[in-house]
Structure 1
Amino acid sequence: MFTDYNFNELEPEILKYWAEKQVVEKLRERKGPKFYFLDGPPYTSGKFHLGHAWNYALKDIAIRYKRMQGFKVWDRNGFDVHGLPTEHKVMEKFKLETKEDIQKFGVDKFVKECELYCLEMAEVMTKDLKRMGVTLDTSNPYMALKNEFMEGEWALMKKAYETQRLYYGEKVLTWCQHCETAVAKHECEYKTVKENSIFLKFPLKNKKDEYLIIWTTTPWTIPFNLAIMVGPEIEYVKVDVGGEKWILAKALANVVVSAVAGRTMKVLEEFKGEKIEGLEYTHPLEKYLPIYAELKKKHPKVHTVILSDKYVDTSAGSGLVHAAPGCGPEDQEACKPYDIPPYNTLDEKGYYPNNMNQFSGWRAKVDDAKFIEALKQEGALIETTEVEHEYPHCWRCHNPVVFRITFQWFFKVENLRDTILKGNKKVCWVPDTANNAYESWIKNLKDNSVTRQRYWGTPAPIWKCQKCEQVIVVGSKKELQELGGKVPKNLHLPWIDEVELKCNGKNKGATKCDGIMKRIPDVIDVWVDAGTTSWNCLDNDAKKMKELYPADLILEAKEQTRLWFSMLSICSYIYLGDNAFKNVYVYGMLNDLDGRKMSKSLGNIISPYELIDKHGVDVLRYYMCQNNAGQDINFSWDECAMKARYLHIIWNIHKLLISLANENKLNPYKLEGKRIKNILGLEERYIFSKLHSTIKEVTHLFETYRYDETILPLENLYLELSRTYIQMVRDKSTIGDEQDKETVIYTIGEVLLVCLKMFQIIAPFVSEAIYLNLREQFDLKPISISHYSWPQHHDLLIDKVLEADVEEAFGLIQAALNAREKAKLGLRWPIKEIVVESRNKDVVKVVNRLKEIILKQTNAKEIRVVDNLPEVKLKVKPEFGKIGPAFGALSPYVIAKLTMDSPQTILSHIDKENFYPFTVQGKEVKITRDMIQIEREVSAKYKEAQSKNAMVYVNVERNEELEAEGYARELMRNIQQLRKNAGFHKSDDINLAVKVSEQMKKMLEKFKLDIREKVGADKLDISLVEPSKKFEHHGEFSVKQEKFVTWFDKA
């Protein structure tokens, strides 16, 4: 039995219990309808970060709920393993820097090290999963490093090729010169950077001293410039600048000439961009790059002005845009109608090749300063300015990317957009904003490059004849074997490259080709790994696919809308012609306490183990999962601490239940529930209504995948059990009759157990510990709280009017307690009267219906409701800042009117109509609540506090009778504490003697019976002198200035 709530001791013990009793494994053995949860695979990077913890806490909530509903949940976990992060780790370990280093090290050895690293990290992360109480099936995680997974990808590639959705082509792609591979645009991280931008002048051909003015933030792309774009409808000007004629956008001319160049100008001519289409210019680096002449010969529009209404605007720069079709897909698109080809000769490392004369050996991006200097030497540089802008970086090594023309294999998806969007109409998204982001991404889908030039990845299953260049795309090991290949045990590089096939194609002369087919050197992009998880998680098994596909639920962070979610859809539609998922839950991103993104460089990363060590796993799950779907959050230690305090409350409820049950020798789970339910009081009807309305609400939220919204209703349920119901039945549970005590014990037991059944989804450790204590104490049969079914609500037990009334009543009670606090009057000291000031009919009804409860909870003698309390003087003060702008010249008359009219009249109108109407100077005026301030002058005999619908006043006047009762209550509390310190049980009767002053003796005489009953005294002697009899226990204490000396022992 767990005696105290100490998560450091409790959580490891619960984990041990679950393992020994095979709690989760036994749940998996149950039969029921199937539910397919697809785990988005985290990368095998090692120990969990807080984002992982949030992710898996939410996932565990989802699958625990479905299991309790009786579903047989397919919840196999997985890991993302291939790609650059692992390669970088291995390269760091063995001090490798380039592809050449890897080749020298040995590709076979390198790949084995990558595999070993991933398996080790997967083991670490699996331990983290278990430590967090996550119940996903970790017995056989899916991983792309397994042959069967890679075959699932091969099957997709083959299907794509057969359906003309896989093609080989040349495109300008973002390229990481550090990793020496293509990087998809959606994989790029955009970082805000400060760097030099340049304004340049390009001379027009055959026009002396006339220039096109351009601006760029990427000086390294200037050697690849082949055109200048203008907007056809944008207004341009030709201006005289010190004898030179500059052409630039009219809207930007003054900024460029005056602010940037520091010169003056005279406008010579105005025209629209379409007028200068076709103008030829000379590239300022032309003498160094003879290739331009060759390009111009083949493509006459090279180095001319072209039109683009899509990629030119006047938000910045000069209004003329430098176009390098080999350095960006937008430029390539704009140049294509003019037959201007992409030109970019960078190598894999981003270096300019040997045929670039003085630029040979320079490196893109790295050598921007050199290019600026070269342009300056040629007289093309107007000015350099520092600019802050967003620039793409490699998602894995975090270095800036460049652009490069590269041949890759692509998925043809642009004509798949409408199909995906149509299928998405059937998908439930939480929240809706995630659906909007997803659809926006899909509407702009571009053909994906699916090959990469690395080592640790699924080999592209494409064999190409070295003679006739015929291509075969292989879909499985079996097919490869049938084609005559000797299949290696491990399908990775380099072993798969040993497989050579005989070509069965035809030469141009229709003779049979006898060439050898070798696999292309590429690996498949890791996002294709991720995109095939929907069937690879099921081992691409026909039976499982029929029973389970598509996934019932996926759940990930919002960044995955453009990553994993879209790749799942693309791959599934290509391979299976249908979507991969039915329901999606999306959560936000986690920032630090100040709203900054967590990062190593800022030193603001909070480890989940920092939180677990401080507050435990349950608090981590409880806190993280309550955050609104799709919204970013700032981490808060204070909120974590609050959740920790709340867990102590639910713990104390079960301790109280066990204590009450033991004292009365009752088992709450063996009482006649049916009989008790027929005699429930208002307090019980309230808490059972709250229980069943919570079951109903939370079930609906789970059914509609609104996981974040389930937390607060469950929290509110056990807080209401503690703070409302248990407070209402304090006397009933201690000095009530046998039937009262049975009712209270039954009610607390029933509500607590049902609450635990639901709350264990959120906080499994504390819920299980409480349950195991109840199980041991009350002989409950299931071995785990998770083995119960999800509770069902009963509408007949729900009374929303009663719930609202009790909520209103406790609002009044809390206000009264706040007013007491202002008067520094403790709750044990009774007060004469509470006055509730309200015109709200519901408040009047509640005070009449629940009067006794309000009086008992506030320790007040009387309560009354009034429209206005005469002892309170109100004064209305106009808000000049609101009235002035609203009424202008009428303001003095409005202010005068408000000063003269009765505050009660003004407020009465505002309460009923939301405004106070009157006429001044023949014009109607309406005063709203924000146009006035209310000042209150309250009589000294009252202290006030506000509830939702009323002002509550506590009469703080004292008299001898109130003081006497207060002293009696303080005496009772102190005696009970002394009993507890002496080790007495509540059921133990005592003999009690109390020595007090003469005045105090007189005051306490009236309350002797109450004192005896409350402290369990068989005999009570209140005297001015010490007792002659010897007692076993003795104690002294003071209340205010009165001294009390007590003696007691067991009766």
Structure 2
Amino acid sequence: MENTNLSKTYDPKDFESRLYSKWMEDGVFKTKPNPNKKPFTIMMPPPNITGQLHMGHALDHTLQDILIRWKRMDGYEALWQPGTDHASIATEVKVVERIKKEEGKTKYELGREEFLKRAWDWRNEFGRKIVNQMQQLGDSCDWERERFTMDEGCNKAVTEFFIKLYEKGQIYRGNRIINWCPDCKTTLSDAEVEHEEHDGHFYHIKYQIKDSDEFLEIATTRPETMIGDTGIAVNPDDERYKHLIGKTAILPIVGRELPIVADDYVDLEFGTGAVKMTPAHDPNDFEVGVRHNLEKINVMNEDGTMNNLCGKYEGMDRFECRKALIDDLDKEGLLIKIKDHSHNVGTCYRCHTIVEPRLSDQWFVKMDELAKPAIEILKNQELKFVPDKFDKTYLQWLENIRDWCISRQLWWGHQIPAYYCQECKEIVVAKEMPKKCPKCESTHFKQDEDALDTWFSSALWPFSTLGWPDNTEELDYYFPTSVLVTGYDIIFFWVVRMAFASMFCTNKKPFEHVLVHGLVRDSQGRKMSKSLGNGIDPLEIIDQFGADALRFTLITGNSPGNDMRFYMERVEFARNFANKLWNASRFVFMNIDSEIMNGVTRESVEANLTLADKWIISRANNIVKEVSHNMDKFELGIALQKAYDFTWSEYCDWYIEMVKPRLYSEDKDAKQAALYTLTYVLEKILKLLHPFMPFITEEIYTYLPTVEGSIVVAQWPKYKEEDNMEKEEEMMNLSMEGIRNIRNVRSEMNVPPSKKAKVIIVPTDDKKEAIEAGKDYFVTLASASELEIANDETNVPEDAVSIVIDGVKIFIPLDELVDFAKEIERLNKEKSKLEGEIKRVNGKLSNQGFLAKAPESLIEEEKAKKEKFEEMMKSVEERLANLESKIK
């Protein structure tokens, strides 16, 4: 390498894309089954081919990449399986819009075959776009294994899953209430319905009892559906209505006779206690209707307009009909009152149109038996949520799950593998079109035109991507997978489905851990949305600050399951940290002498390691242990914070400053030990930070003279007992505390750093060794012109400023620079602080409850503190008395 140092300024544009291309070229993300290594597998939640990377993706992918890079370095065969989702509804909407805009045609005018060709063109155009964006973020996936939910292998798995469920009696075709989107003109599963708070009304309507002056007051939020009413239900224990059970009411406007039935479904306390039954337009009414054999009358078309059973209201939009119907009821004296009512209304997750429950012939999966194994793996702790508070969400969904409507009135997606005999209407479920009907031997078949719910294929993602239903080497090695990383808003959509699908198809859990993260909100805590215009494009952040700064921002302060706020100030802070690391590394490389570093080993420098060297080596060793521990517990935010604090404060601000005199000296042995320590610790820092900030750490790593190859496949640092030097850490901490206090005192007195002053230190016997070992650092870092270590205070000038720390008194004879009034003020503050500490300790030691319950070691610790504080107080009072006497 011609250039042996980093460029002068940190600019991620200089190397981020270059490094990613090299990683791809060198194949460092590739993986294959390896019997000599343990597998670690993450399946990427496949992003839709309709979208682009948003801040939620950026967080989700950063978390996954951190885990996969860490485990790869830690010796695992780490597979991050990438892929994209066909997103039936969203993609079809986009393609339909494009065809209409460019050609002025509907999908029906194009025909299914031509439409699907356009949809695949869309996928080829936009599917690559989001992959490129993931790579900009630094996603270290095995891209040669990239999958698509409609590729040949996934299609084969979907067909196998459908047939297997059908043969086991878990799939059926039925006429049931489904969620219908009048805009997308397709069914939706319960999980695809989003509930939004709407201001609506309760319309109280008079339903006359047949052959009677009596009437029932019925309250409804959807009066337009009353045209399909076929009964009225009351609670059998409701004294108000017992006499009406078995009688008949008359449907207003329409005139239909409605049987009055008794059913426990009706809440005695809610509304009027009498509920109109519209079995074709409400799931609960449907169930009541089945129990009481009520007629099912569908009064709406697919587009949400009223159908030919609606008389004068035919052709009206459902909300237009509502208005007209209420006007007519009012005119006829049948409208009792209208009450304001705020309630949750189901909307389509894609277009946010209000969903219409309606009766329809659809394909369903029976969920009662399928849910049981998925519940068991959580209860048996085979599947674990992080944090575990999401256990309840998962269980609540599974324990109350309804049959899953899986058919969608779409063309883009997996076409349902069901074939209808055109002669006898027999249904044959098979991998391909039958040659002849098993019932009537006809050869005329037509495949079901509907597509399967997108989540039907996504449910198979953890194992279909590894080759299922075939018994592949990859499936055997990488499955079950290790961790699923996902937002808490997708547990219902996806996690539950993967759990029961995996148990049904493989009899194995899909993953061991589910790491749940929150949402990325704006700086005001609002959800990012187009309507608010508060979204932040992660690609713009990357372009301006670099991918490392974005990743650092998303992880700092992040904790599992909790939302986070995104502040631009934090991005700038992250960039500043990257700049600090860059400049510190550049300083190290600038001082490397290849001749001196040649053949350097730990053994060759051991005798010349100073207190500072041993301290930073020991601190780095302990940080390795702590960061690894936090990573194991998925506390990625805490792990990064510890690595950051150590890098910025201890390595850059303290150690590099301590080591400078040796780097500039003529002492070859001292310089060699310093350079060894600088590079030894820097290597550890780069490795600890690599999963979080992959680009800058790789770029710096390539300049380290002590390593070879890519940091991507370097070994994760391990805790070494021989690097644990507690004594040296304690000794160094004492010097650092002294230096810190000297700096504070000088700052309070506005003494410029350039003004040197003598420092006199009077340590107790047990602190002498530590002060002696750290004396040079006072000269370097505390602006000491000279340092004197004294046995007592005999030669301390009377006007010296004093500092008292544990076992050590420090004096600075600042002569005329001292403002005695300010020094007295400072000592009084110190005295007040010590009085507070002594009061607290005395309070504890006089508390009988504490003395009775606390272990002896804790009591002794508090007594030692009291003794220390009282000694410090004595010293402060002596200094105060001395100064005050001088002023007098």
The equivalent of 2:629 in structure 1 is 700
**Matched residues in 2 for 1:609 and 1:370: separation?**
50
- 1:829 deviation in Å? 3.4
Alignment counterpart, residue 698 of structure 2, candidates 768, 786, 789: 768
2:160 is aligned to: 155
Report the Cα offset of residue 280 of structure 1: 4.9
Aligned equivalents of 1:818, 1:279: Cα separation in 2: 89
Is residue 611–residue 773 contact of structure 2 (8 Å, CA) maintained in 1?
Answer: no
Conserved 8 A contact 2:232-2:274? yes
Q: Please report how far the alpha carbon of residue 60 of structure 1 lies from its aligned counterpart in structure 2 after TM superposition.
A: 1.7
Kindly state the Cα deviation for residue 644 of structure 1 after the two structures are TM-superposed: 0.7
Matched, 1:629 2:560: yes
Matches of 2:359 and 2:560, distance apart in 1: 40
User: Counterpart of 2:720?
Assistant: 794
Match of 1:829 in 2: 755
User: Counterpart of 1:389?
Assistant: 343
> After superposition, where does 1:184-333 map in structure 2 within 5 Å?
184-205=189-210, 208=213, 210-214=215-219, 216-227=220-231, 278=245, 280=247, 282-285=249-252, 287-288=253-254, 292-293=256-257, 296=258, 302-304=259-261, 306-308=263-265, 313-314=269-270, 321-333=275-287
Distance 1:656 1:755 in 2: 15
Distance (Å, rounded) in 2 between the aligned partners of 1:371 and 1:559? 38
- Other-structure match for 2:647: 718
Aligned AA (2:459): G
Shift in Å at residue 201 of structure 1?
A: 3.9
Structure with greater contact order relative to length (CA < 8 Å, sep ≥ 6)? 2
Alignment of 1:640-1039 (within 5 A): 640-662=571-593, 665-667=595-597, 670-719=599-648, 720-735=650-665, 737-774=667-704, 778=705, 780=706, 782-799=708-725, 817=743, 820-830=746-756, 857-859=781-783, 863-865=803-805, 908-913=838-843
SS in 2 for 1:455: coil
Match of 1:533 among 461, 469, 476: 461
Query: Partner letter of residue 825 of structure 1?
Result: V
**What is the aligned partner in structure 2 of residue 145 from structure 1?**
150
Contact 1:277/1:306, CA 8 A, preserved across alignment: no
For residue 40 of structure 1, what is the aligned residue in structure 2?
A: 45
- CA 1:648–1:380: 2 relative to 1, 3 Å: same
Aligned partners of 2:179 and 2:188 also within 8 Å: yes
Report the CA distance shift for 1:729/1:96 in structure 2 as closer, same or farther (over 3 A).
Answer: closer
CA distances 1:731-779 after superposition (whole Å, capped 9, x unpaired):
34434843332222111100101221232221111111112222xxx3x
Q: CA deviation at 1:675?
A: 3.4
Specify the alignment match of 1:437 in structure 2: 393
Alignment partners' CA distance in 2, 1:665 and 1:522: 74
- Is contact 1:36–1:551 with CA below 8 Å preserved after alignment? yes
CA-CA distance at 1:277 after TM superposition: 7.4
Structure 2 counterpart of 1:1028: none
Q: Which has the larger radius of gyration?
A: 1
Over 3 Å counting, the alpha-carbon distance change for 1:334 and 1:97 in structure 2 is farther
Distance, in Å, in 2 between the alignment partners of 1:443 and 1:217 is: 29
- Deviation string 1:180-235 (CA, Å, 9 cap, x unpaired) is 11111111122233344433344455653554352x333333333445566678xx
* 3-state SS of 1:595 partner: coil
After superposition, the Cα gap between the structure-2 partners of 1:584 and 1:521, relative to the gap in structure 1 and judged at 3 Å, is same
CA distance in 2 between counterparts of 1:655 and 1:165 reads 64
Q: 2:539, 2:475 → 1: CA distance? A: 38
Whether the aligned pair in 2 keeps the contact of 1:232 and 1:273 (CA below 8 Å) is no
Task: Name the CA shift for 1:284/1:702 in 2 (closer, same or farther; >3 Å).
Answer: same
SS at the partner of 1:282? strand
Distance (whole Å) between structure 2 residues aligned to residue 313 and residue 754 of structure 1: 67
Give yes or no for the alignment of 1:452 onto 2:452: no
Measured after TM superposition, the shift of residue 448 of structure 1 is 0.7
Distance 1:453 1:197 in 2: 33
CA contact under 8 A between 1:346 and 1:353: conserved in structure 2?
A: yes
Q: Is the 8 A contact 1:464 1:470 kept in 2?
A: yes
Q: How far off its partner does 1:32 sit?
A: 3.6
Q: CA deviation at 1:646?
A: 0.7
- AA paired with 2:616? I
Tell me the distance in 2 between the aligned counterparts of 1:952 and 1:21.
65
Deviation at 1:914, TM superposition (A): 5.8
CA contact (8 A) 1:27 1:67 kept: no
The reply on whether 1:370 has 2:330 as its aligned counterpart is no
Are the counterparts in 2 of residues 589 and 631 from structure 1 also a CA contact under 8 Å?
A: yes
CA deviation profile, 1:412-442 (whole Å, cap 9, x unmatched): 1122333211112212322222333222222
The answer as to whether partners of 1:592 and 1:604 remain within 8 angstroms in 2 is: yes
1:602 corresponds to 2:532: yes
Aligned partner letter, 1:447: D
In the alignment, which residue of structure 2 is the partner of 1:926? none
Q: Secondary structure at the match of 1:562?
A: helix
Distance 2:492 2:692 in 1: 29
Contact kept, 8 Å, 2:499 with 2:509, in 1: the verdict is yes
Work out the CA distance in 1 between the residues paired with 2:834 and 2:607.
47
Shift of 1:594: 1.4
Q: For residues 38 and 411 of structure 1, what CA distance do their matches in structure 2 show? A: 25
Aligned equivalent of 2:365? 411
Q: Which moved more, 1:320-329 or 1:629-638?
A: 320-329
Distance 1:323 1:914 in 2: 70
CA 1:606–1:903 in structure 2 vs 1: closer, same or farther (change >3 Å)? closer
Task: For structure 2, list consecutive stretches of 5 or more residues without a partner in the other structure.
Answer: 788-801, 810-822, 849-872, 884-888
Contact persistence 2:218–2:276 (CA under 8 A)? no
Could you tell me how far apart the structure 1 residues matched to 2:205 and 2:16 are? 66
Query: Quick one: which amino acid aligns to residue 503 of structure 1?
Result: C
Distance in 1 between residues matched to 2:37 and 2:221, nearest whole Å: 61
Change (3 A) 1:96 1:131: closer
Which of residues 5, 11, 24 is equivalent to 1:6? 11
Cα separation, 1, equivalents of 2:833 and 2:84: 68
**Deviation at 1:701?**
3.1
Aligned-partner SS, 1:528: helix
Distance of aligned partners of 1:365 and 1:832 in 2 relative to their CA distance in 1, 3 Å threshold: farther
Correspondence for 2:447: 519
1:15 aligns with 2:38: no
Secondary structure of 1:686 counterpart = helix
Cα 1:761/1:529, change in 2 over 3 Å: same
**Cα pair 1:38 1:75 within 8 Å, conserved:** yes
- Please state how far the C-alpha of 1:852 moved relative to its aligned partner: 7.3
Shift of 1:443: 2.0
Task: Return closer, same or farther for 1:645/1:338 CA change in 2, 3 Å cut-off.
Answer: same
- In the alignment, the residues of structure 2 paired with residue 331 and residue 800 of structure 1 have an alpha-carbon distance, to the nearest angstrom, of 72
Distance in 1 (CA, whole Å) between partners of 2:720 and 2:806 is 38
Tell me the amino acid that sits aligned with residue 643 of structure 1: A
Per the TM alignment, residue 121 of structure 1 is displaced from its structure 2 partner at its CA by 0.9
Distance 1:167 1:515 in 2: 24
**Partners of 2:32 and 2:73 in 1: how far apart?**
9
Q: Secondary structure at the match of 1:354?
A: coil
Amino acid at match of 1:789: Q
**2:354 aligned partner:** 400
Following superposition, the deviation at residue 373 of structure 1 comes to: 2.0
Aligned length: 810
Structure 1 stretches lacking a partner, 5+ long: 234-270, 297-301, 486-499, 506-511, 837-841, 876-901, 919-948, 960-1051
Deviations 1:83-129 (A, max 9, x none): 11111111111218999932112221111111110121111112112
Equivalent residue letter for 1:549: F
User: Given that residues 193 and 389 in structure 1 are in contact (C-alpha distance below 8 angstroms), is that contact kept between their aligned partners in structure 2?
Assistant: yes
What CA deviation, in whole Å up to 9, does each residue of 1:661-684 have, x standing for no partner? 24x9532x7312123235433322
Q: Deviations over 1:947-987 (max 9, x none)?
A: xx9x999x99xx9xxxxxxxxxxxxxxxxxxxxxxxxxxxx
Query: Contact between 1:620 and 1:640, CA under 8 Å: does it hold in 2?
Result: yes
Residue range with higher mean Cα deviation, 561-570 or 434-443: 434-443
What does the per-residue CA deviation read over 1:802-848, in whole Å, with 9 as the maximum and x for residues that have no partner?
65776687577556645644443333335688999xxxxx9999999
Match of 2:310 among 348, 356, 370: 356
Q: Say what the alpha-carbon RMSD is for the aligned residues.
A: 4.0
